Structure 1
Amino acid sequence: MRLNKLFIGSLLGFAVSSTARIIATDETPLIGPSFISNFDPSSSKAINNAKSTFPGLIEKLFKSGELNHTDLAFTVDVFSAATNESLYSYSHVGPMSKRALTSGKLDDNTISRIGSVTKLFTVYAIIAKAGMEVFSHPVTKYLPELAGNSTGNPLDRISWDEITVGALASHQAGSGGITDFFMAYQDPKDPKSLEFRAEDLLEFFRDKRLPVVAPYHSAIYSDGGFAILGQVLARLSGQSVTDAFEEILWKPLGMNSTSTQVPTGSNLNVIDRLRISNESAWGSDVEIVASTGSVYSSTADLRRAGLSILNSELISGPTTSEWMKPRSATGSLVELVGAPWEISRLEIPVMPASNRTRISDLYTKAGGNIDYTAIFALSPDQGIGYSILLAGDTATPARWPLRDVVGETFIPAAEHAAAENAARNLAGTFVDEENTGNNITLTVDRGHPGLGIRSFWLEGKNALSGPHYRIYPTGLTSTSSSLSSLYQTKGSISIAHRMATPFTPLNPRAEVEGGKGGLFDNSFTWMNLDSKGPIDLFVFNLEDGKLVSVEFPLTGTVMKRKA
């Protein structure tokens, strides 16, 4: 998802000409947040601008025909880990969809189908139950029935003894789709039956399923693999997939509107498109694929799930960080694959009104059940996330422009809100009260990522040898290893930062990144950190989000805020 000129111009409030270029910042910053995110972004200028801009962007999508105003019903929720609340919500109900709303309204608690966003919960449940170490286990440890295919030709069988749980979770098992299983095992006497046996699934994938690619050859989206992964979850938990979800995720997180089966009872608040179309996927529940695309949920529950991940509520902070990392590349420079994250590498303007950008990874999962689609996204760098639920005949194509417009509006806004906060609460001059010859001045600079160092003096001597030093947070805090500590807005907290020192003069970025270089980048920032010991380590001490002192542990120097 590369930020396009229309959305950048709308968000940042300046005209972008047809010849404007997005250029990666010369400093090649570390991957991760540019600034700390432990502040309430809801009152920031950047977020408020995004809120006011967003309805107009949706109207442009209606006018262009990318979204069908008459057909669609959709709701958007943007949330923040710093407040654990919604930052912004938006909904639309087209005239054709009104009869599908059982409560007569579309709100935060309206239940829709989320399709393959289900896959995210399958992996989440497995990690919460058994830890990340299960990713290295062979699938046959839990499903020995998959072993035993005697076919000698590796082109004719999936080599399950070579496939791990992690390969399934990251679409790298070569296990392909699920449609041919349904065709092979559907009851000919009752072709509308949705009942399938687990033993038949395992038999099919052992004996009849042709591999798509060799294990780990490349990521190939696999509904079939996630049906198998559901059986792994069942064996791990000793329960059905439905019961495992309930026990491991729904109940602990208070996700009371979420289920693998169609909601029933009185006073329902759902989008039931069977009211307007006999072809709707509403209620088409198949237990054997409950792990791959069967979940029903609301934006309120998806917010609970997203915040639980950002706040490491069910799994540890290091485990969360390990889970939220790429596990495979794709043929695109900006699309990576996780387990089962669909990771978009965003080029975000480092400051409002700047065409200099840095990379920030957005962790998404898309889903679809014919006339129901969904998007779930988390941006750990900024501590925000969003979900989108859509219903309608045009829901499948509509999810992509909606994904883009929400991400392209609120992710840069959150980045710029962090820059606003840094200018207000982090930048300044800090002086050693016992020796004024020890001092540092931190800045927020247009067109540059992270904090700058205008000056740094130790014992009255200039401690800097070049002009390009930038300081970035490391994710290490004094209070917890949980990601939630990164978003702590109140109380005392110490956060480790590292000073990145690019080569001087700066090498040009690669041509593909908008720079004047060639095929390669020649920046080695990530290789140089701590190469000479902790001479690049600074510890920021904050009180209620305000930086009050800066420590330089190498010399034991503590410099307190003066301006």
Structure 2
Amino acid sequence: MSNSKFIGNAKTALPDLVDKLFESGDLDRKDLAFTIDVYSAATNDTIFSYSHVGEKSKETLTSGELNDNTISRIGSVTKLFTVYSIIAQAGMGVFSDPITKYLPELKKNSSSNPLDSVRWEDITVGALAAQQAGTGGINDFFSAYTDPDDPEAAVYKSEDLLAFFRDKRLPVIAPYHSVIYSDGGFAILGQVLARLSGKNVTETFEETLWKPLGMNSTSTQMPKGSNLNVIDRTTVANRSSLKHTAWGTDIEVVASTGSIYSNTADLRKAGLSILNSELLSGPTISEWMKPRSGTGTLVELVGAPWEISRLEVPVTPGSNRTRVSDLYTKAGGNIDYTAIFALSPDQGIGYSILIAGETASSARWPLRNLVGETFISAAENAAAENVDQNVAGTFVDEGKPGNRITLSVERDHPGLSLKSFLLEGEDARNNSTHYRLYPTGLNSLSRSLSALYRTEGTMRIAHRMVKPGIEPVEPRAAVEGGNGGLFDDSFMWMNLDSNGPVDLFVFTLVDGKVTDIEYPLKDVTMKRVK
């Protein structure tokens, strides 16, 4: 994929597109320092990197340069690592457990009024992880335990946190009523993580994630020592309109919600570990990377704690018809440091963006969008190009030439077109010309997502034949931006295996190219002839 002309075009285009954001005022050229890293599970490495250092930020770089190893703060991207660590410790089953199983102290609230207190017995680990516990923010806890005359002397203890959220924290919404972003909930989730491991959050991160993944530059405490390669904005804090900086503000009791320092090199290791199922099994990763709630828009969903953007990507290069591709992201911000962590399982790519500056908070969104729109579109087009070159073609049964199949990529249509399929010389498509083939994720190598991106060696991949619910394909529904009606009457997902494995095909790939196709129902194997 990295050698595709579409990826090459994206690499060439992105610097000019960033310049346009500077020119439009969406980004402050003089203020910001940021670095972008785009990587691929097919190569297990970076496919594009870019950095910018504004005049006002040059003195914040302790090594004199901004690169893959420069440490910044990632804010609430920390929440993703909290959930990652919990699953690594206890598996997905822990999501169904009530919080009080691990934090029985939260049971003891005397109020029975639902408006006055959170009923923790009703809240599960999964509800907190998916931002559906209704527990709200954390600032009122800090206010309650901080002396305004001597704020630097404040000591925040885990027992104080639990007591506050048990006795004083007002619920914001009812559990599972809808999603609401909750720093407070993730502080509580950190205490669950600590109980699971028997260590504090910082030590647990180190044991379950940093060491196994080789994330040697990542921590919950400000980096110290000589020869540091960091963005330290305390050097410009006295000249900043923000008046203070997040650098060095480290509080263990909220280490699980927004504490982490990291760089793009380590975030790449984390992203690839998810795509490659390095710490968790493939099915566990797939379960984790699913939406758990909707929001007020059709294109934004919430996971645990993924922030999922439902993107409409062209079904073929240049097409005005689209398909949905989900981008799994987590955004973070610590005052003058912000970050984006993003994974696109469909294309097997990920990217991270680390930003520092007075305008860092607003800068993360146009940069998130720009990188995603540029490289996800490029990767999708590269995939279509690859399918056309290495999957499409005609395959014939050497012993019985009447068994043959032709697959093609058709403009404006998703998936592979079953252009023709003959069994003993007879059309086996039930008089339909609209059958498509889609991969099922089942393959002969492993249950890992990474197997889907392999381009070397031999593997077998199961596909299923699907007939669209409507023939020919109707205009897109109005909810998709088309001229159709309110409903999108596509029922393809209901039809798989409805008549048994009549729709099953198995492709054999050698170094990424399909060499033969099996039709197990009839014990037929057809080999590529062109």
TM-score (norm 1): 0.92
Mapped pair 1:98 → 2:58: yes
- 2:529 maps to 562
Mapped pair 1:65 → 2:19: no
SS of residue paired to 1:455: strand
Q: Which residue type is aligned with residue 86 of structure 2?
A: I
SS of residue paired to 1:231: helix
- 1:321 maps to 286
Q: Is the CA contact (8 Å cut-off) linking 2:147 and 2:154 kept in structure 1?
A: no
- 2:374 maps to 409
Match of 1:471 among 431, 437, 443: 437
Alpha-carbon separation, structure 2, partners of 1:309 and 1:184: 38
Alpha-carbon separation, structure 2, partners of 1:83 and 1:478: 20
SS of residue paired to 2:309: strand
Q: Is the CA contact (8 Å cut-off) linking 1:508 and 1:522 kept in structure 2?
A: no
The 10-residue stretch of structure 1 (533-542 or 331-340) with the greater mean CA deviation from structure 2:
533-542
**Cα deviation digits, residues 16-38 of structure 1 (max 9, x gap):** xxxxxxxxxxxxxxxxxxxxxxx
- 2:410 maps to 445
Q: Is the CA contact (8 Å cut-off) linking 1:122 and 1:233 kept in structure 2?
A: yes
Q: Which residue type is aligned with residue 419 of structure 1?
A: A
- 1:285 maps to 250
- 2:161 maps to 201
Residues 258 and 194 (structure 1), Cα distance of their counterparts in 2 relative to 1, 3 Å cut: farther
Match of 1:210 among 142, 160, 170: 170
Q: Which residue type is aligned with residue 459 of structure 2?
A: I
Match of 2:107 among 147, 150, 159: 147
- 1:536 maps to 503
Structure 1 gaps of 5+ residues are 1-40
Q: CA deviation at 1:479?
A: 1.0
Please list, as runs of the form range in 1=range in 2, the aligned pairs for 1:333-412 lying within 5 A after superposition: 333-412=298-377
Q: CA deviation at 1:159?
A: 0.9
Mapped pair 1:424 → 2:389: yes
Q: Which residue type is aligned with residue 496 of structure 1?
A: A
Q: CA deviation at 1:197?
A: 0.4
Alpha-carbon separation, structure 2, partners of 1:194 and 1:79: 42
Q: Which residue type is aligned with residue 123 of structure 1?
A: V
- 1:495 maps to 461
Alpha-carbon separation, structure 2, partners of 1:271 and 1:217: 40
Q: Is the CA contact (8 Å cut-off) linking 1:195 and 1:287 kept in structure 2?
A: no
Q: Is the CA contact (8 Å cut-off) linking 2:26 and 2:366 kept in structure 1?
A: yes
**Cα deviation digits, residues 174-208 of structure 1 (max 9, x gap):** 00000000001114563123520000100010111
Mapped pair 1:485 → 2:451: yes
SS of residue paired to 1:355: coil
Match of 1:135 among 84, 91, 95: 95
Q: Is the CA contact (8 Å cut-off) linking 1:490 and 1:544 kept in structure 2?
A: yes
- 2:2 maps to 42
**Cα deviation digits, residues 144-179 of structure 1 (max 9, x gap):** 001121212111110100000000000000000000
Please list, as runs of the form range in 1=range in 2, the aligned pairs for 1:54-203 lying within 5 A after superposition: 54-188=14-148, 190-203=150-163
**Cα deviation digits, residues 521-555 of structure 1 (max 9, x gap):** 11101111111111111111000111000111111
Q: Which residue type is aligned with residue 204 of structure 1?
A: F
Alpha-carbon separation, structure 2, partners of 1:150 and 1:434: 79
Q: CA deviation at 1:449?
A: 1.1
Alpha-carbon separation, structure 2, partners of 1:194 and 1:379: 42
Alpha-carbon separation, structure 2, partners of 1:314 and 1:187: 43
Q: CA deviation at 1:389?
A: 0.1
SS of residue paired to 2:2: helix
Mapped pair 1:518 → 2:485: yes
Match of 1:459 among 424, 433, 456: 424
How many residue pairs match? The answer is 523
Alpha-carbon separation, structure 2, partners of 1:338 and 1:491: 34
Q: CA deviation at 1:517?
A: 2.2
4+ residue segments displaced more than 2 Å: 187-190, 192-195, 503-509, 514-517
The 10-residue stretch of structure 1 (444-453 or 260-269) with the greater mean CA deviation from structure 2:
444-453
Q: Is the CA contact (8 Å cut-off) linking 1:432 and 1:558 kept in structure 2?
A: yes
Q: Is the CA contact (8 Å cut-off) linking 2:307 and 2:328 kept in structure 1?
A: yes
Q: Which residue type is aligned with residue 446 of structure 1?
A: R
Report which structure shows greater RCO (CA 8 Å, sep ≥6): 1
Q: Is the CA contact (8 Å cut-off) linking 2:314 and 2:321 kept in structure 1?
A: yes
- 1:28 maps to none
Q: Which residue type is aligned with residue 47 of structure 1?
A: I
Q: CA deviation at 1:264?
A: 0.3
Structure 2 gaps of 5+ residues are 239-243
Q: CA deviation at 1:468?
A: 1.3
Identity across aligned pairs (percent)? 72
**Cα deviation digits, residues 442-469 of structure 1 (max 9, x gap):** 1011111111111100011001121211
Alpha-carbon separation, structure 2, partners of 1:117 and 1:276: 25
Alpha-carbon separation, structure 2, partners of 1:545 and 1:260: 41
- 1:246 maps to 206
- 1:263 maps to 223
- 2:295 maps to 330
Q: CA deviation at 1:473?
A: 0.8
Q: Which residue type is aligned with residue 235 of structure 1?
A: R
Q: Is the CA contact (8 Å cut-off) linking 2:275 and 2:348 kept in structure 1?
A: yes
SS of residue paired to 1:414: helix
Alpha-carbon separation, structure 1, partners of 2:131 and 2:507: 40
- 2:241 maps to none
Q: Is the CA contact (8 Å cut-off) linking 1:507 and 1:523 kept in structure 2?
A: no
Alpha-carbon separation, structure 2, partners of 1:385 and 1:403: 12
- 1:12 maps to none
- 1:233 maps to 193
Alpha-carbon separation, structure 2, partners of 1:193 and 1:349: 56
- 2:515 maps to 548
Alpha-carbon separation, structure 2, partners of 1:315 and 1:110: 28
SS of residue paired to 1:83: coil
SS of residue paired to 2:203: helix
Alpha-carbon separation, structure 2, partners of 1:60 and 1:327: 36
SS of residue paired to 1:560: strand
